[in-house]
Amino acid sequence: MNYKIGCIAGDGIGPEITNEARKVLDAVGAKFGFGIEYTDILMGGCSIDVHGIPLTDEAIEAAKSQDAVLMGSIGGDAKVSPWYSLPPEKRPEAGLLGLRKALNLFANLRPSKLYSALKGACPLRSDAADRGFDILIMRELTGGLYFGERKTFEEGGLRTAIDTLKYNEEEIKRIAVKAFEIARKRKCKVTSVDKANVLDSSRLWRAVTEEVALGYKDVALEHMLVDNCAMQLVKDPAQFDVVLTENMFGDILSDEAAEITGSIGMLPSASLNETKFGLYEPSGGSAPDIAGRGIANPIAAILSAAMMLRFSLDLKDAAEAIENAVEKVLLDGIRTIDIMSEGMTEVGTSQMGDEIVRRI
């Protein structure tokens, strides 16, 4: 069987790491008897260079016609790139926000797992690192502060800005249902993170989450304020399974959870809508300072491809083959520069892809 996959290589290191993800997908497809037809789609800075805008209607329609979309990275160096002299709505990152909205990608999944072979790279105390952790942060992606009404104006002679944080109960319910469904396939625990002691939106978030929980008696639910959650992530991350939260809190907490694994270059992500369609991308950025040097870590992009196989294509065995191959590479001491340590073998971007392919 053949699957249609849109490929947004994007900017910076995006083309390099996406190439390795495609290499691994082709290898696992050959092993498990399926093929992939790729459609290249421009978005971000590379789209600005060609079309003058970061996301075209044609790109949106091309993405909608696929079974899933695999993405590299978007954006460049804000200090030197001409892209950032444009109005905010025409900069590279606006394309990503627009695509998420157009495809209704409301559920962002960001796994944070500490591999045993990388304990030494974990910045936490040794006792916390020894316990390990395997967290899935479920972030609402199309509502909240980033998509609310905003304006900048002058009031009383002072420059003033307003950003609106707004959620309705349906937006909260659908992300909560996703979290509980996925928790059922993991350790059956959901930690819902909010700021209900201050915000009305968080009080609604908590109330709706509790209503959803009534349909999942087998899944434990706890509530945690966001400031406490930030502290607990660096104190005892092993306590978490699925962390459910709104857009801005999830943006911050997922980067924190990524850092404690030792390198953000290890962290994949998925953004899903109400069907099986999803956009899959590394959690890290475009890293323009190392673009073209062949040293970027492609593992996050490769694990994002594994998430695509699991969540959008229902190819669990193929996904596990990729995940196991990544773990074997790490246990065998193969490292890119960002996770390199004494006694290990340093490789570049393409060589890391090759090593993972060899272990599939």
Catalytic residues, which ones? 146, 195, 227, 251, 255
φ/ψ of 33, rounded to 5, equals 80, 35
Q: How far is CA 307 from CA 25, 55, 242, in A?
A: 11, 24, 16
φ/ψ of 71, rounded to 5, equals -125, 150
State the Cα–Cα distance between residues 210 and 207, nearest whole angstrom. 5
State the Cα–Cα distance between residues 40 and 257, nearest whole angstrom. 31
- The structure tokens listed for 262 are 């030792």
CB 109 within 8 A of CB 138: yes
CB 267 within 8 A of CB 111: yes
State the Cα–Cα distance between residues 109 and 95, nearest whole angstrom. 20
State the Cα–Cα distance between residues 301 and 228, nearest whole angstrom. 31
State the Cα–Cα distance between residues 18 and 20, nearest whole angstrom. 5
